[in-house]
Amino acid sequence: MKFFFIVNPNSKNGHTRRIWPKIEKQLNNKAINFEYRLTKAPLDAIEIAKEATNKKFDVIVSVGGDGTNNEVLNGIMLAEVPIDKRPSLGFIPQGTGGDFRRSIHVTPNIERAIEILINSNRLRIDIGEVRFLDHSKTHVKRYFLNICSFGISGLVDYYVNHTTKLLGGKISFMIGTLRGIFNYKNTPANIIVDGRDLGRMNITLVAVANGKYFGGSMMVAPDAELNDGVFDIVIMKDITKFRFILDGRKIYKGKHIKPPNVFSLKGKSLQVNTGGLYIDLDGEDVGTTPAEFIIIPKAINIIIP
């Protein structure tokens, strides 16, 4: 079995750059057949993963955080190889938030993560596809493993990704959340799920979820499953700044879903035509609405414990 490791040296505030030689040594000690490349710039992992997919590696491993995972997924999908020829996606988690790894129970412990790769237990999961406007107002398409959301979460991402993460994932996201709360204004929008218009709502946040967690361990979609063929869609509307702060701790335990202001439903597609809402794509601020989301069932194998 041939592995290809895509290493984001800047993940975890540069910690991955320092620890990669240790990881490489452990891989060699285990006699693993592998190659690797370090990313040099944002979105670099997309092209690297696309090349590795076309070279027919069996497993492509993301060494980084949720953003790196997302880029590697997009590279695999852009290679446009038949579904039965796609490499599996593995992980050595080295990110700040580590949200996707929580859903699949992959540890950030390096030795254990390597053992999981060696055992290569596979799970075929769904992924999401989203079309939106990037920051240059160009229509783009991206895939996501975990959660894509819009509203206050996208603004929070902007703040988190433009400040230091030396304090760790949870603290960084908490600070970013507070900044987002005080600067975000609820935005009127129509949400359409599977062709059904839910009506006009003052949107605080909409999470289109494949996994359970986002924002540095917030359990925003407690009932989400990675391979059930549908999104878990969590909608927060008309949430005041005071209420968001008061109930903020509940989201870490998945206890925040209380209609009518916070409710969830399942669906295979979602559309929002209102523009200007910030989008969070697997932990990265990538652009704005209008946007369209669809589920792609059983799209890729991932390596799990």
Q: Strands 121-134 and 88-93: what pairing?
A: unpaired
State phi, psi for 268 to the nearest 5 degrees: -95, -15
How far is C-alpha 198 from the geometric centre of its chain's CA atoms?
25
Q: What percent of the chain has pLDDT over 90?
A: 81
Greatest Cα pair distance in the chain: 58
Q: Are 283 and 158 in contact (CB under 8 A)?
A: no
Q: Which fold has domain 128-299?
A: Tumour Suppressor Smad4 (2.60.200)
Quote the radius of gyration of the chain (alpha carbons, Å).
Answer: 19
Q: Where in the chain is the domain with CATH 2.60.200.40?
A: 128-299
pLDDT band at 175 (very low <50, low <70, confident <90, very high): confident
pLDDT band at 156 (very low <50, low <70, confident <90, very high): confident
3-state SS string for 94-146: CCCCCHHHHHHCCCCCHHHHHHHHHHCEEEEEEEEEEEEEECCCCEEEEEECC
Q: Which fold has domain 3-119?
A: Rossmann fold (3.40.50)
pLDDT band at 258 (very low <50, low <70, confident <90, very high): very high
Cis, bond preceding 21 (omega within 30 deg of 0): no
Residue with tokens 């697997």: 282
**Lowest-confidence pick of 108-112, 141-145, 262-266:** 108-112
Residue 255 CA to residue 219 CA, distance in Å, equals: 8
> Residue 53 pLDDT more than 70?
yes
Query: What pLDDT, on the 0 to 100 scale, is given for residue 80?
Result: 83
Q: What is the pTM of this model?
A: 0.93
Query: What pLDDT, on the 0 to 100 scale, is given for residue 35?
Result: 98
Q: Where in the chain is the domain with CATH 3.40.50.10330?
A: 3-119
The helix/strand/coil state of 42 is coil
Residue-averaged pLDDT of the chain: 93
As given in the structure block, the two tokens for residue 250 are 């509940």
As given in the structure block, the two tokens for residue 175 are 């600070």
Query: What pLDDT, on the 0 to 100 scale, is given for residue 168?
Result: 60
DSSP tag of 87: P
> Residue 170 pLDDT more than 80?
no
> Residue 167 pLDDT more than 70?
no
Query: What pLDDT, on the 0 to 100 scale, is given for residue 165?
Result: 61
> Residue 23 pLDDT more than 90?
yes
State phi, psi for 100 to the nearest 5 degrees: -65, -40
The angle at the Cα of 147, spanning 71 to 135, to the nearest 5 degrees, equals 60
As given in the structure block, the two tokens for residue 2 are 């041939």
Residue with tokens 């003052």: 202
Residue 134 CA to residue 237 CA, distance in Å, equals: 24
